[in-house]
Structure 1
Amino acid sequence: MLWVPWWRVGARLRGLRGGLQAPAESGRRGVVSCIDPSTGLNEEQKEFQKVAFNFAAREMAPNMAEWDQKELFPVDVMRKAAQLGFGGIYVRTDVGGSGLSRLDTSVIFEALATGCTSTTAYISIHNMCAWMIDTFGSEEQRHRFCPPLCTMEKFASYCLTEPGSGSDAASLLTSAKRRGDHYVLSGSKAFISGGGEADIYVVMCRTGGPGPKGISCIVVEKGTPGLSFGKKERKVGWNSQPTRAVIFEDCAVPVANRIGDEGQGFLIAMRGLNGGRINVASCSLGAAYASVILTRDHLKVRKQFGEPLASNQYLQFKLADMVARLVASRLMIRNAAVALQEEREDAVALCSMAKLFATDECFAICNQALQMHGGYGYLKDCAVQQYMRDSRVHQILEETAQTKITSDNIRESILKTAAAAVLHCCKILGPQGSQDFSTVTSRVDVS
């Protein structure tokens, strides 16, 4: 049967039209229209972006405050999102995915995050897990695990972080000892999104010696004897998704649940995180975009000294600065997404740069939006405070901005570029230049 992209199915689109979409700007060109998130997208991308914006407006935004305050995990709404293809956005179509690109995925997550950043962030983690199984799993594993993940009949959690190792993933201690046709897992994972609620746990564990080569990836299914969960953590934001420790006590898992070969787990984890950085940065982008729109509208209607705040030049400059940061973040994220899709050599560095820059800048935008709302911004009834709280953690997860891995990804890319540039110059200089290559590079300050 010929697969038809979900955003082309007329019945689904008709059912969503009429809700909040990417704001239609006036015909005036310039700074006002540059915040339009559809700028630079092709017609197909604009179409599913509208679907995502409409879904966010109708199903998520009206509920996000309640989900946050009551700490509700919106299973039914996420399954509705899956009906539009959001459960396996970049999973291959033969197992129920939408088969979209990394850029397409970023566009969708930005739009969904305007409705609820916390819930969208969980959906992005779920998508990452589904992609890891789809990419590195066997055909049997792909067809066993991916279809229910793509429909969100089952939910997935990514289990890498441990109490004693966060971004230093290669030093993880959770062990998986081979006993016949099973692995017996012992250890624990910390800060797991969806912990206790998810059905499938993609676990990085140690099957070999120390270091990254001793790590493997194993799928542990909910209900497996020896699998338990810690208390539900109380958090500043991200309250629509539960966070718990995941505990393994002599937890026997079939060898058939190992994804990839033994020792391939660290590679799988890092490959997953490359896309994860783009995903979480895109969620930050959605929070920042929504905050800019809310701030713009607030300045238009709020009056002080007989004039709308929008007439205050200082606030105009502040809003312009927020827009500049927003657009710069979006460009970096989308550039990194394209590089990752094309498997370019600089993709890892670009993903790290985009995550580092965009999560910082987008949080700053949300924080400034709260400030520009004045006292109203500090009330729970004001959405900007929730965007700020939900986006704050994005600077921490998928590697904090200060970790060695993030800095190494960027530094190594710079060093490779510098060395290539010097080599190119030596070739232009001729044989003598090539002979002097080592001398020249020794004088290049790359510290």
Structure 2
Amino acid sequence: MPATRTVPTQEAADLIDLTRTFAVKELAPRVTEAETNEEFPRDVFALLGRSGLLGLPYDEEYGGGGQPYEVYLQVLEEIASVWSSVAVGVSVHALSCFALAAYGTEEQKREWLPDLLGGELLGAYCLSEPHAGSDPAAMRTRAVRDGDDYVIDGAKAWTTHGGHADFYTVMARTSEDRAHGVSCFLVPADTPGLSADPPERKMGLTGSATATMRFDGVRVPAHRRIGAEGEGLRIALASLDCGRLGIAAVATGLAQGSFDHALRYAQERETFGKPIIEHQGLAFVLADMDAAIASARAATQSAARLKDLGLPFTHEASVAKLVATDNAMKVTTDAVQVLGGYGYTRDFPVERHMREAKVMQIFEGTNQIQRLVISRALTREAAGAVTVAAR
């Protein structure tokens, strides 16, 4: 059941149609085998890049697609409805480009962004550490200035595309100042001293490689520092706002894909002489699933439009991430229930969807962290006025 969408231009509508066709023709035939065999589909990202789908939310001047976030996120949805590992990868690639695009100098952007956005290179984002997942200010990875270089030592956990990426956007400590002691670096994958541990053995998203990255005397030229020294935490938090919208869209697409399978099954499967969708108990489950997806999409698009207008959206990004990922967990669980015993087997994709949904409540800030962000925003905004902006 295709989602009802509103987009600002015919070009955007055509782009979403193109993505849907790409997902059905190129992704759908491969997803089951790749996820079962835990194969990272590197060639798919090259194909996405050549199709112009890896740099959509960035300026055309630097090789991006020049699309607003409300369009980019709907493209992510379409990909996730077929293969969520790939959609997560597109979101992470966009996240890894954010620091350079938003905080890089004009010279840095012109030198590196076209290659990063062009599709042949794949990015990764190094923020979390084994002891500092939800508290990035507690990171221990260090970057020590040595002449015209910085030397980075430490480890970064849970790196999506770890060991497969061509470049890494890395946050590392440059002083002991908790709030202003972190800096951001763009590190090529072939830099001596940079290595990846074996990939994590995960419950889901097994087609997405996740690994700890090791920095052992990694020497990075100072001109590869993005932003001012000590500005890294600010860059990281701004990046996460965008990344949370990406994951909200992926979760919404995943839920949509799982719902579509459950709906088709309910229309075809018969008990007591009629399709099971005509039994009220099951029909109400499907109705709740549909409503959950619609609410997740609305929350995500509302936050995206604030971003596109240049308005603050941190609070709304956390709301979208919380709502979309919690709803995806509920929808995918219900999809398994709709299929009954068949849903619990690997003959149908809904059991995989359920496993994939779980991590979306965890990465890009756990949903407990989202509740913390939201509650703090409510405290700050209690005495404020409602923001109204024309589109």
Residue pair 1:171, 1:212 contacting (<8 A) in 2 also: no
* Equivalent AA in structure 2 for residue 149 of structure 1: L
Where 1:202 maps in the other structure, the secondary structure is: strand
Matched letter for residue 215 of structure 2:
F
In structure 1, what is the Cα distance between the partners aligned to 2:254 and 2:376?
31
Is this contact kept in 1: 2:169–2:185, CA < 8 A? yes
Shift of 1:42: 4.6
Q: Match for residue 155 of structure 2? A: 188
2:324 counterpart residue number: 358
- RMSD over aligned CA atoms reads 1.6
Is the 2:254–2:357 Cα contact (8 Å) retained in structure 1?
yes
Where does 1:230-269 land on structure 2 (aligned, <5 Å)? 230-269=197-236
Q: CA deviation at 1:391?
A: 2.1
CA displacement, residues 375-414 of structure 1 (integer Å, 9 cap, x when unaligned): 11122221212222222111000100112xx334312322
Q: Is the aligned partner of 1:389 residue 2:355?
A: yes
Give the alignment partner of residue 123 of structure 1, picking from 90, 95, 111. Answer: 90
5 Å matches for 1:52-201?
A: 52-201=19-168
Structure-1 residue corresponding to 2:247: 280
Residues 300-325 of structure 1 show CA distances to partners (whole Å, capped at 9, x for unaligned) of 11111222111111111111111111
Q: How many residues in Structure 1 have an aligned counterpart in Structure 2?
A: 386
Q: Is the 8 A contact 2:248 2:321 kept in 1?
A: yes
Deviation at 1:185, TM superposition (A): 0.6
Identify the residue that residue 420 of structure 1 maps to in structure 2. 384
Q: State the 1:241 CA deviation.
A: 1.5
Structure-1 residue corresponding to 2:315: 349
Q: Which residue does 2:389 correspond to in 1?
A: none
Partner of 1:296: 263
Cα 1:65/1:140, change in 2 over 3 Å: same
Shift of 1:139: 2.4
* Separation in 1, partners of 2:64, 2:12: 17
Q: How far did residue 130 of structure 1 move?
A: 1.6
Deviations 1:242-297 (A, max 9, x none): 11110111111111110111011111111111010000110011111111111111
TM-score (norm 2): 0.95
The one-letter amino acid paired with 2:383 is A
Equivalent position SS for 1:252 = strand
- Looking at structure 1, the residues matched to 182 and 78 of structure 2 have their Cα atoms a distance apart, in angstroms, of 36
SS at match of 2:213: strand
Partner of 1:317: 284
Residue 359 (structure 2) pairs with residue 401 (structure 1)? no
1:40 positional shift: 6.2
Q: Any idea what SS the aligned residue of 1:210 has? A: coil
Q: Hey, what's the Cα distance between the residues in 1 that align with 2:8 and 2:270?
A: 37
Q: Which residue of 2 aligns with 1:18?
A: none
Task: Give percent identity, aligned residues only.
Answer: 35
- Name the CA distance, whole Å, in 1 between partners of 2:340 and 2:375: 40
Q: Distance in 2 between matches of 1:144 and 1:233?
A: 34
The CA distance in 2 between the partners of 1:172 and 1:410, in whole Å, is: 24
The 8 Å contact of residues 90 and 131 in structure 1, kept in 2 or not, is answered as no
The aligned counterpart of 1:372 is 338
1:308 pairs, out of 272, 275, 279, with 275
Q: 2:172 aligns with which of 196, 205, 211?
A: 205
Q: Given that residues 79 and 151 in structure 1 are in contact (C-alpha distance below 8 angstroms), is that contact kept between their aligned partners in structure 2? A: no
- Displacement of 1:59 in angstroms is 0.8
Poorly superposed stretches of 4+, deviation over 4 Å: 39-42
User: Residues 89-108 of structure 1: CA distance to partner in whole angstroms, max 9, x if unpaired?
Assistant: 11111221001111111111
Q: Unpaired runs of 5+ in structure 1? A: 1-21, 24-35, 423-447
Asked if the contact 2:7–2:71 (Cα under 8 Å) also holds between the matched residues in 1, the reply is no
How far apart, in 2, do the equivalents of 1:169 and 1:383 lie? Answer: 35
| Greater relative contact order (Cα < 8 A, sep 6+) | 2
Deviation at 1:340, TM superposition (A): 1.8
Q: Distance in 2 between matches of 1:329 and 1:248?
A: 38
Return the alpha-carbon distance in structure 2 between the equivalents of residues 410 and 354 of structure 1: 11
Q: 1: CA distance between counterparts of 2:4 and 2:362?
A: 25
TM-score normalized by structure 1?
A: 0.83
Kindly provide the amino acid, as one letter, of the partner of residue 216 in structure 1. Answer: S
- Determine if contact 2:63/2:114 at 8 Å carries over to the other structure: yes
Q: 1-side partners of 2:328 and 2:8: how far apart?
A: 21
Question: AA paired with 1:341?
Answer: D
Answer whether contact 1:201 1:219 (CA < 8 A) is retained: yes
Distance in 2, matches of 1:257 and 1:40, equals: 37
Whether contact under 8 Å (1:61, 1:114) holds in the other structure is no
* Contact 2:92-2:243 at 8 Å conserved across structures: yes
Report what 2:299 is aligned to.
Answer: 332
Deviation at 1:118, TM superposition (A): 1.0
Query: Which sections of structure 2, spanning at least 5 residues, go unmatched?
Result: 387-391
